[in-house]
Amino acid sequence: MSTNQRKIYVSENGDRWWLCEEGGSVYVLHEANLSSGGKSTKIEIGDFLGTGKTGPEHQSLLRLIDELATVA
């Protein structure tokens, strides 16, 4: 099964966030930088955008959703 990914944000320390779709499921994939272990974590969209989550990666996802909704 293939995964479609769209980059959300790359932090100054090298962490990366991706909006992913795989088999009808949509989630955020966080890839920690190598010095933090490089672990990848799948995060449900609702959990990622939950109350109090206002970091630049969250703002970037909201902008991306707005862009995608405008195109549709």
Which tens digit of pLDDT belongs to each residue from 19-40? 999 999 999 999 999 999 999 9
Which region, left, alpha or beta, applies to residue 37 given φ > 0 means left and ψ of -120 to 50 means alpha? Answer: left
The answer to whether 8 and 18 have CB atoms below 8 angstroms apart is yes
Indicate the number of domains in the chain: 1
pLDDT for residue 2 is more than 70 = yes
Q: pLDDT (tens digit, 9 = 90+) per residue, 51-64?
A: 899 999 999 999 99
Angle at 37 between CA 16 and CA 1, to 5 degrees: 60
Which domain, by its residues, includes 29? 3-71
For the chain, the average pLDDT equals: 94
By CB atoms closer than 10 A (0-12, 13-18, 19+), residue 28 is: buried
Q: Give the rounded distance of the alpha carbon of 10 from its chain centre.
A: 10
